[in-house]
Chain A
Amino acid sequence: GAVVSQHPSWVICKSGTSVKIECRSLDFQATTMFWYRQFPKQSLMLMATSNEGSKATYEQGVEKDKFLINHASLTLSTLTVTSAHPEDSSFYICSALGTSGNEQFFGPGTRLTVL
């Protein structure tokens, strides 16, 4: 089946620094990728939809200047959390839309801890 990877799997950073998370589709090309955030004991919340070669579409309440998304190729999307603060600590998960257009394949997630 289709595989999506994320890197890093976990990261700890100091408040005020920026962190980049990569999402790769390993064996298929994905024109559309999605970024989610999940706080402890809560469900996944969609943050933004990323389309290759165009600007990401952000969900209401998600700051586009804080969560920078770049989808420069058909196999890679990146999420940069700028000037991270402790409240940004969360589990960030990406997904990629499969070639059939009916399935999303999720990455293993990245746990971000901001001190």
Chain B
Amino acid sequence: DAKTTQPTSMDCAEGRAANLPCNHSTISGNEYVYWYRQIHSQGPQYIIHGLKNNETNEMASLIITEDRKSSTLILPHATLRDTAVYYCIVNDNNDMRFGAGTRLTVKP
């Protein structure tokens, strides 16, 4: 019963920015937006999270709309190693419940 909607798949050219959208129209005021990714046959890897403000770290940037009903994960310069399934999760109680995610394929 994931609370988010993401495109099933996306392609991105190597070296270009990858922008992954996520809709979470029913998000409540105390729920954070988390992003994880999973490379084939590995455990999920934490990327970034935020509540209201935009966030940036060494991996990515997270842009959250003012109404908090959607967000975008930005990988500024995608590499082939960024090919993975990206999961957008909203929660406030730390048990991460995964939706189907977006399969990002970075192409040479």
Contacts and interface: CB of A to CB of B under 8 A. Distances in A.
Interface of A: 4, 6, 32, 34, 36, 43-46, 49, 91, 93, 95, 97, 101-109, 111
A49 B99 CA distance: 18
Q: Is the interface of A mostly helix, strand, loop or mixed?
A: strand
B49 to A, nearest CB: 7
Given A46-B96, A95-B96, A103 B49 contact: yes
A106 B34 CA distance: 14
Contact of B100 (A43, A93, A103, A111): A43
Contact of A108 (B32, B43, B95): B43
Interface residues of B, number: 19
Interface of B: 32, 36, 38, 41-46, 49, 87, 94-101
A97 B43 contact: no
A34 B94 CA distance: 10
A104 to B, nearest CB: 6
A69 B100 CA distance: 26
Nearest to A97: B94
A91 to B, nearest CB: 7
B46 A43 contact: no
